[in-house]
């Protein structure tokens, strides 16, 4: 049996892989929180890209940079490696679509967690299958089953977090836990590996780790940074506006709508025919809600206002005869 090294570069690769998993899960939770409010499909797609692409796939292959087998060469099959990345993103997207709904249910959470967990485990072992070596690799069935169970539980917990976690500190804590779960699943699956001297000699086919994984990891990291900037900007621009009630006599404004503006061409004391004077009229015959401040009922002020410009006609008031005065005689 050949020796297997999971930390060929010391703690650099596990620490860096955990940091990337934490960042991906953090961004995914932020996108999922926005998906609960608006643009559900778009934000869930970005959340799947962050969690599946950065939080899971990038973490897996950064950790694989520190993997080596004694006296063996390792290469990676490019199409299978790319397929594993697509698998991670798609299964996370399916799980999010099943769970993040206006009315989420427990069966939907369990189904989404199971599908996502099995997909993440499938991504892991697909990536391991893409690894080609001149050594013969076998797996311990018990540890493989444990890694799949960890993946399902971690995926279910992650989907639960997307439904219930709000606030900066809670989101950071949830992302830290998700990073630990993803890393634990990876290293549990790697611990199930055993390497033996193979009958085949010579360099296996495929690309070296840095030739393949370096550009892929760099590209996804750039996308992650752009997504981080996008999430930061939208969190400022889309700050929800709380419902602001008026005083007891006035109506309440709509949620998330700016207060309506009055036209500058209309006099300040004009009352249109569609306005209900019984609900908004204050002292002096003027409305008293938050958009129409009350005015004193001083007769001199009213007289000056009437001489400055003609008073608007209230169409509901009874009209006087046009010609002369009618006597009831």
pLDDT at 238 over 60: no
Q: Which residues fall within 8 angstroms of residue 302, CB to CB, at 6 or more apart?
A: 284
pLDDT at 118 over 90: yes
Q: What is the distance between the alpha carbons of residues 258 and 78, in angstroms, rounded to a whole number?
A: 53
Express each pLDDT in 168-188 by its tens digit.
Answer: 888 899 999 999 999 999 999
Alpha helices in 100-167 (DSSP H): 106-130, 141-164
Supply 153's token pair: 């539980």
With contact defined as beta carbons under 8 Å apart, do 163 and 96 qualify? Answer: no
Neighbours of 130 (CB within 10 A): 21
Residue 36's pLDDT is: 79
Give, in degrees to the nearest 5, the angle at Cα 203 between 198 and 205: 100
Neighbours of 219 (CB within 10 A): 12
Beta bridge partners, 194, equal: 138
Sign of CA dihedral 272, 274, 279, 280: negative
**Confidence grade of residue 43 (pLDDT, cut at 50, 70, 90):** confident
Q: What is the distance between the alpha carbons of residues 232 and 225, in angstroms, rounded to a whole number?
A: 11
With contact defined as beta carbons under 8 Å apart, do 87 and 122 qualify? Answer: yes
Calculate the alpha carbon distances from 197 to 69, 111, 270, 295 in Å: 10, 41, 94, 94
pLDDT at 191 over 80: yes
Q: Report helix angle 12-35 to 168-191, nearest 10.
A: 130
Q: What is the mean pLDDT of the segment spanning 302-318? A: 52
DSSP 285: G
pLDDT at 115 over 60: yes
Burial 224-237 (b: 16+ CB within 10 A, else e): beebbeebeebeee
With contact defined as beta carbons under 8 Å apart, do 37 and 240 qualify? Answer: yes
* Dihedral angle computed from the Cα positions of residues 185, 190, 193 and 195, in that order, rounded to the nearest 10 degrees: 170
């Amino acid at each position: 049996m050949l020796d297997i090294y999971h930390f060929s570069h010391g703690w650099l690769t596990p620490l860096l892989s955990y940091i990337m998993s934490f960042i991906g899960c953090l961004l995914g939770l932020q996108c999922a929180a926005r998906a609960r409010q608006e643009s559900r499909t778009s934000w869930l797609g970005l959340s799947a890209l962050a969690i599946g692409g950065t939080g899971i796939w990038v973490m897996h292959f950064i950790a694989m940079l520190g993997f080596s087998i004694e006296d063996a060469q390792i290469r990676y099959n490019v199409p299978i490696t790319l397929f594993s990345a697509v698998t991670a993103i798609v299964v996370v997207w399916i799980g999010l679509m099943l769970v993040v709904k206006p009315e989420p249910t427990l069966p939907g959470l369990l189904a989404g967690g199971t599908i996502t967990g099995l997909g993440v485990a499938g991504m892991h072992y697909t990536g391991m299958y893409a690894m080609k070596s001149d050594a013969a690799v076998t797996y311990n069935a018990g540890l493989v089953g444990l890694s799949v169970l960890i993946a399902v539980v971690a995926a279910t917990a992650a989907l639960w977090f997307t439904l219930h976690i709000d606030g900066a500190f809670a989101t950071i804590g949830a992302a830290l836990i998700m990073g630990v779960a993803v890393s634990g699943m990876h290293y549990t699956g790697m611990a199930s590996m055993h390497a033996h001297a193979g009958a085949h000699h010579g360099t296996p086919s495929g690309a070296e780790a840095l030739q393949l994984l370096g550009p892929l990891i760099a590209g996804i990291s750039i996308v992650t940074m752009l997504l981080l900037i996008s999430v930061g900007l939208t969190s400022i621009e889309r700050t929800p506006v709380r419902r602001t009630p008026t005083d007891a006599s006035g109506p309440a404004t709509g949620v998330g709508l700016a207060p309506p503006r009055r036209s500058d061409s209309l006099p300040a004391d004009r009352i249109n025919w569609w306005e209900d004077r019984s609900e908004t009229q204050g002292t002096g015959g003027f409305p008293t809600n938050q958009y129409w401040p009350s005015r004193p009922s001083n007769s001199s002020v009213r007289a000056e206002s009437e001489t400055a410009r003609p008073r608007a006609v209230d169409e509901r008031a009874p009209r006087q005869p046009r010609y002369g005065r009618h006597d009831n005689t």
